[in-house]
Structure 1
Amino acid sequence: MESAEIARRWLRFFEERGHTVVPSASLIADDPTLLLVNAGMVPFKPFFLGEQAPPYPRATSIQKCVRTLDIDEVGKTTRHASFFQMCGNFSFGDYFKEQAIPMAWELLTRSQSEGGFGFPEDRLWVTVLHEDDESADLWQKTVGVSPERIQRRGPKDNYWHMGVPGPGGPCSEIYFDRGPEHGREGGPEADEERYLEVWNLVFMQYELSSVRSKVDFDVRGELPARNVDTGMGLERMATLLQGVDNLYEIDTTWQVLDRAAELAGKKYGSDTRTDVALRVVADHARTAVMLIGDGVAPGNEGRGYVLRRMMRRTIRNMRLLGAPETSMAELVDASIGAMAPQYPELERDRQRITQLAVAEEGSFNATLRSGTARFESAAVETKGSGAGVLPGHEAFRLHDTYGFPIDLTLEMAEEEGLTVDTEGFRRLMQEQRERARADAKAKKTGHGDVSVYREVADRIGRAVTFTGYDEVVGEGVVRGVLRDGVSVRSADEGDVVEIVLDRTPFYAEGGGQLADAGYLQLANGAQVEVYDVQQPVPGVIVHRGKVMAGEALVDIAAQSTVDIERRRAISRAHTATHMVHKAIREALGETATQAGSENAPGRFRFDFSAAGAVPPSVLRDVEQRVNALLAEDLPVSAEVMTQSEAVASGAMALFGEKYGDAVRVVSVGDWARELCGGTHAQRSGQLGLVTLLGESSIGAGVRRIEALVGADAYDFLSREHVLLAQVSEIVKARPEEAPERISALVERLRDAEKELEKIRSAAVLQAAGSLAASPTEVFGVSVVTSRAPDGTGADDLRKLVLDVRSRLGDDRPAVVAVAAVNAGRPVVVVAVNARGREWRLKAGALVRVAAQVLGGNGGGKDDVAQGGGTDASKVAEALAALEHTVGATVTG
C-alpha cells in the first residue's frame, strides 16, 4: 500500500466519523518555543492548553514534522529520520477513551478491501498505564483483546505531558508483532524491535501543576474538558504495509535513495559506508525539499541553518559517493515525485524549490573545493606533529573563511581519526559575535558606517564624559551634528539629528537598560528633544532627536536635561532586576544565571537559564524575599575596581558581556553584588514595591520573568484589589474566603451539569418505548425516524437507537434513525437489525444519505453508523431522504 493511499484511508476513516480534516500546518512553527513543527499535535496546542476555543469538536490531520536532535544518527541506523509524517485524530472535549480505542482498533484491523489496514488481530499488542484500569477494560471487554496481549507499564512509557505545567494524562500504545525473526517473545516489554509501536493514544484528562521530569510531576486535578490526541507514524506504517525492512525502503524514501544510487553509480546493500551515505542523502534531500516548500531558505541561523546543514550533508555525501558535482536538481526531482501525491503544492512550486537548492549546491561546491583542500592540509599538519586534535583556530578558519559548519569539520575530522578543539573554536566564535554586536549597535543609530563617529571622536580628542551617575542636568559643548548619517555644521528646526557632546548626563542604551530621554538647550536658543541615546563606537555617546526650535550648531555650549521621572523609574527597574537575579539564584541554584534583560520605566523583564518552568510557589518566595529587602531600605552603592578585585568580592559577571579591566560593581547592601554600568536607585526602599507578573519560556532552557516596580506595581495591585472586592461581593464572601467559595461554586456547577446530563440521558431513553410502538411501514420494512431534543449527545443517540432496534426485534426488517442538534451541529445515528441487513439495508450507506443532506458526511458498520453535518435546519429533510432510500433499496 503506497504512502499516499495510507494517508487517504486515514483521513477518510476519521472524516466518516465526524472529524474535520485539517490540512498539515507549515513546518515553520507558529510557536516561539519551537524552531520547526516536531509533532502532530503542535498546531493544536492552543486548543489543548485552553488558549483558544477549537473551531471543531474533533479533527484529523497528517502533519509534516521535522526533528533534528538525532541528525548525526541519520543514515547510521535505519530507524532515525529527520522528516516524518504523523497521522492524528483529535478530540477537544468531545469523545474520550470509549470511542478513541475502538476507532483505532477498527481502522487497524478492518480488511484492506473495506478501507482498513488489514492487520491480523492476534499480532497486535497494547500497553496501558499501570493504574489505567479503564483503558485496560475497554481493550479487553469492548475491543476483545486477549488479556495476555495487554501489558501495563509505568509513566516513562505510558504517560504524556508537555514538559511544563498544563494538560497531561495516560497513554495507550498499540504494537505490531513482526515475528520471531525480529526478536524474542514477551510483548513490547520484552523487545520493542520485534514488537513495533504503530499507534499512540494520549488521553488528556488531568491538569499538572508542576513538572520536574518525565516521571516526576504533580497533578492538580481533572481537566474541565477531557481531550484525545493520537498519533500514528505514516512512515512506520508504510514500512509494515509495504513489507520492507526499514523506513529507507518505503516508496517515498526509496525513490530518492534509488535516484541517488543511480547518479553515483552505486548499488544499495553493497557495503556499509555506501549504504550510510545513500540513507543520509535520501533522508536529507527529502527533508530539504519539504522545508524549502514551506518557505525556509538556507542561512546561518535558526531553521535556515538546519536546512543548510542538511543540504550540505547531502551534497558532500553525493561527492563521497562519486556522483557528479551537480546532483541536487535530480534529487529534488525525485523528492517531489515521491511527495507530490500527498502534497501537490510541491509540484506547483517545483521551479522555486529547484532554483534555491541548485544555488546552495553551487555555493557549497565552491566551498568544498577550497575548504576540503584546506582541511586536508590542516589534517596532515596535525597528524605530522603527532597530535590527534585539530586546533580550534583551524576549525574557526574553515568556518569563517570557507563557510564550513563546525558539524562538517567534526564529521570530516572523525573520518580522519581526529578530534577538534571545540573550546578554542567557541572562544573565537564568541569574539566574532562581540564584533557583530558592536555592528548591530551602530545600525541602531540609523547609520551603518561608523567612520563618521570616529571622526567626531578624533575631533573631541577623548571619550565623551558620562556624568549621569552624579547629575541629571549638565553643561557641555556640541562637538558633532549628524543629519542623514552625514556630519554637518548645522541643522534647522524640524530636522532629525544625532548630536554628540563632549560631556553628557544622558545614559546610552546598554546592559539591558533603555536610554534616557530629555532635552538639549543650546546657547543660541535652539532646543532639541532627545528620544534615544546610543554608543555606536566606544567612547562616543550620540543623542538622537529632533530640532524643536532654532538652529543646532557645532561648537556651541549646551545644557543637557534628562527626563528625571523616566530616569528614576528606569533606575528602580534596574535595581529590581539585580535583586530578582540574586533571589532567583538563591531559589534555583547558581545555574539560574541571567540571559538577558530589559529595564524600562516602571517595569522590567528578566531572562535566565532554567531547565523547566519555575513553580508559582518559588515565584512567590522570590517576590516576598525581594520585597522584604526593600523594607530593610538597603543602601545601593557602586565602586570601580579591577576585574580580579570584583571577582574576589563575590560580584557576578554576566556571561557574554564584555568588561574592561576597570569595572563598576553595584551592590545592594551586602546581599546582591554584580558588575554593571547602569544607573540605579540610591536605596532599595525607593523601589517601593516589586510585583512579579509571571514567568514563561522564550526558548530551550531559557525562562522570562516580567515584573512591575514602584507606582506601576502599586497601580496593578490596586486594580487587582478592586477586582477581588467585586468578586468577593458577587460570591458573598470575605476576600480571603473568595477562592474557596468560587472553587465550591464551580464544583457544585459541575455536579449540577453531571446531574442534568443524567436526567437528559434518562429522558432521551424514555422515548424508546413510544418510538418502537409506532414504526412506519416502508415496503415491508419497519422504519423509525425521530428527532431527539436539542443538546442530546452522540452517545445518548446511539443508546436510544440501539434500544429501539432491540425492542423491534428481528422478526421483520427494521431501520431506526434518530437525529439531534448539539451545539448548533446536527448528528444522526442509524441502526439496522439482522433481518434488515439481509434485505440489503446497510446503516453506513443510509447514514451517508442523511449526512449529505445535512452538509456533512458519515459512515460506520452495516449494523450501526453515525454521521453529521453543518445545516441544522435540514434535519427533517435528512430523515425523509433516509426513509426514501430505504424504500428505493428494497424495491430496486
Structure 2
Amino acid sequence: MQTAEIHRRWLDFFEKRGHTVVPSASLVSDDPSLMFTVAGMVPFVPYLSGLVPAPYPSATSVQKCIRTNDIEEVGKTPRHGTFFQMCGNFSFGDYFKEGAIRFAWELLTASEEEGGLGFDPEDLWVTVYEEDDEARALWREIAGLPDERIQGLGKDTNYWSTGQPGPAGPCSEIFFDRGPEYGIDGGPATDDDRYVEIWNLVFMQYAITDVKSKTDFTIVGELPKKNIDTGLGLERVAFIKQGVENMYEIDQVRPVLDRAAELAGKVYGENEADDVRLRVIADHVRSGLMLIADGVTPSNEGRGYILRRLLRRVILSMRLLGVDGPSFAELFPVSRDAMKGGYPEVERDFDFISRAAYAEEKTFLRTLASGIQILDTAVETAKGASAAVAGDTAFLLHDTHGFPIELTLEIAEEAGVAVDRGVFTTLMQEQRDRAKADAKAKKGQRADLSVYKELRGLGETVFTGYDELVHESRVLGIVVDGAPATEAREGDVAELVLAETSLWAESGGQDSDQGVIVGDGFEAEVLDVQRPVPGLVVHTVRVTVGTVGLDARAETRVDADYRRGATQAHSGTHIVHAALRDVLGPNAHQAGSYNKAGYLRLDFTHSDALSAETKSEIEEISNLAIRSDYEVVTREMALDEAKALGAMALFGEKYGDRVRVVDIGGPWSRELCAGTHVSSSAEVGMINLVSESSVGSTNRRVESLVGLEAFRNFAAERTIVQQLTSGLKVPRVELVSKVQDLSAQLRAAEKKIAALEAERLAQRVPELLAGAEEIGGLRVVLASLGRVGSADDLRGLALQLREQLGSAAGAVVLAGEADGKPVVIAATTAAGRDSGVRAGDLAKLGAKVLGGGGGGKPDLAQGGGTDPSKIGEALAEIRRSLGG
C-alpha cells in the first residue's frame, strides 16, 4: 500500500465519521516557542488547551512535521526521521475515550477492501497508563484484546502534558509486533525494536498544576470539556504495509537512497556504515525539499541553520561514500517526483527549491575545500611533532568553517594521526551550554499565553482600522506584569484587550500603529500592538493620565501621520516586489519583509548581488508605478478564488479560508495581504533604494526610504554635494572626476611614502644582521623597529633578513607599531624548522603578550594585539621560549 494511499484512506475514514478535514499547516510553526511544527497536534493546541474556541467539534489532518532532536539516530533505527507525516484525529469535547479507541481499532483492522488498513489483530499490542482502568476495560470490550496484550506503563511513557500547568491526561499507544526475528518476546514493555509504535491516543481529561517534572505534578480536577488528540505515524505504517525494513525504504524515500547508491557505486545492504549514510541522505534530502517548499532557506540562525545542517549532512555523507562533487541536481529531482503526489507544491515551486539547495551545496563544497587546506597544515604539523591534531583546530574548523568533525577524523586517520577529541568535546559542550543558556533566557522572556485564555474566550477582537482611525470600544481585559488585573493606574505599563480596535497589530511585515487609547478620566500611550494568540489583539500601553478599569469605555485613536507613512511603506513594499520581478524574473520571490512609516525592507530569493544599473532600474520602475497613479484595490474572497486570479501567496505566510487581495494597477501587483494600504500608488510619494545586501546564499535584501523620508534623504545628499562643490570649487558635473583625481593623487603619494619606508627599513638589514644573537643553537634576529608604515613593510624586511641567514638554523622576529597597533612578524629558515622552531608558535606567543592573537605557517607568521607598550615584553618572552 503506497504512502499516499494510506494518507487518502485516513482522511476518507474520518471525514465519513463527521470530522472536518483540515489541510496540513506549514512546517514553520505559528507557536513562538517552537521553531517547527513538531507534531500533528501543534496547529490544534489553541483549541485543545481552550485558549481559542474550536471552530468544529472534531477534525482530522495529515500534518507535515520536522524534528531534529534525534538527528544522530537517523539512519541507525527503522523509525527515526527528521521529516515525517502525522495522521491525527481530534475531538474538542465531541467524543472521548470510547470513540477514540473504537475509531482506531476499526480503521486499523478493517480489511483493505472495506477502506481500512488491514492489520491482523493478532499483531497488535496496546499500552495504557497503569492507573487508567477505564482505557484497559475499553480495549478489552471494543478490541477483544487479552489482558497480556494490554500493558500498563508509568507516567514517563503513558501520560501527556505540555510540561506546564494546564491540560493533561493519560495516553494509550498501539504497537505492531514485527515478529520474533526482530527481537525478544514480551510486548512493548520490553522497549525492543521488535514492537513498533504506530498510534498514540491522548485522553486530555485533567487540569494539572505545580509541575516540577514530567512525572511530578498535581492533578487539580477534571477538565470541563475533555478532548482527544491522536497521532498515527504515516511512515511507520507505510514501511509495515509495504513489507520493508524501515521508513527509509518506503516509496516516498527509497528512490533517493537508490540514486545516491548509484552515484556512489555502492550496493545498499552490503555494508552497514554505507547503508546508514545512504539512509541519512534519503531522509535529509526529503526534509530539505519540504522545508524549502515551506519558505525556509539556508542561513546561520534559526530555522535556516537547521536546514543548512541537514543539507550539509547530505553533502558530508555523499563525500564519505566517495562522491566529492555536486550531487543535489541528481537527488532533489528524485525526491520531488516521490513527494509530488501528496504535495504538488514541490513540483510547482521546484525552480525556487532547487536554486536554494544547489546554491547551498556550491557554497559548502567551497567551504570543504578551504577547510581541507587548513586541516592539511594541521596534519603536517601533527606529523612533525608526533602529536595529534589540536582539538581547538578541529573546533575552529567545525565552528567557523562548518567543517564536520567526522570528516576531520577521517582525513586525520588516513594520514596516520589522531585528533584531540577531548579538547574538541569540551569546546563543543561549552558552546552547547552557552546556546542552552541563551535559549533559556529567551524562553523566560516570553509571556505565559495562558493569561490570554479567558480573554480570547470572550470573542475575537474586531479590527476596524481599514475604514477608520478612531473607534469607540470597551475594555474587556487588563494584564499587568503578566497577570490579570482589574485596573491600571497612571504610570503603569499594562496590556489592554478591547472588544474592537482601529489600531493595527504587528503582522504581515507591517509594524504596529502608534496612537493613544482614551476614556473617561484616563489616557494611555500605545507602545505596541500584538496578536499573542490567533484572534486576540493586545495593546501594550503606558497609562499617562488617570486609571483605566475593566469594562471602561475606551476610544482607540491612531496617529494619522504614522498610519499614512505605514500605508505608504506597505504599498511601497508591494511596488518594489513587483519591480523586482519585472527586472529579475518571476523566480524573485519575496522571502520576508518589514515596513513602518518611512521605511521598508524586502528580502527576496536571488543568488547574485544586484549591479548599480539593476538597482537603478528597479528604483525607476517603482517610481514610474507611483507616477502612474495606479488604483489600489482591496477585496476579500475565498483563498482558492484568490489563487485562481493569480494572487501571490508568499513563502512562509499562512492564510485562512478567507483572504484579502491587494491589487496595484490590476494584475501588475496582485498579492494576498491583510495590511493597510494607500488608495492609489501616487500616495506612496517616492521610493529611494538606499541599500542592497546578502542575507544568505540564496536571499538578498533591499532597503528603501519611502515618502517624506525618501525626500529628506535626497535633500541631505543634495546638501553634501553642494558642500563638496563649494569646498573643491568645481561645478557639480565635474565633481566626480575631481574626487577621482584627488583619490589618484592620494594613492600615488601613499605609494611613494610606502616605497620610501621600505627603502628605509631595507637600509637597516646590515645593522640587524650584525645584532643577530646565538640562542639555543639558532641564529636569531630579534628586534623592535618602533613605528612602521604597515605590517607588509615589516614582513618584507623579515623575509630579506631570513634570506641573508642562508642555510643556517635561524629565525627572525621583528615587532613594530603600525597604525597605532602592535604587530609581530616571525620567519624561520628551513634548518630552523628542522630543529623544531615554528614561526606560527613564535607569532602566537608574542601576540598573546600584546593582548591579541596570531599564527600562520611554520615558515612565516604574523600576530597582533592592542598594547604597543608591551612590545619589549613580547620579544623577551619569545627569547625565553627559544632558550635565551
Q: What is the TM-score with the length of structure 1 in the denominator? A: 0.48
Q: What is the TM-score with the length of structure 2 in the denominator? A: 0.48
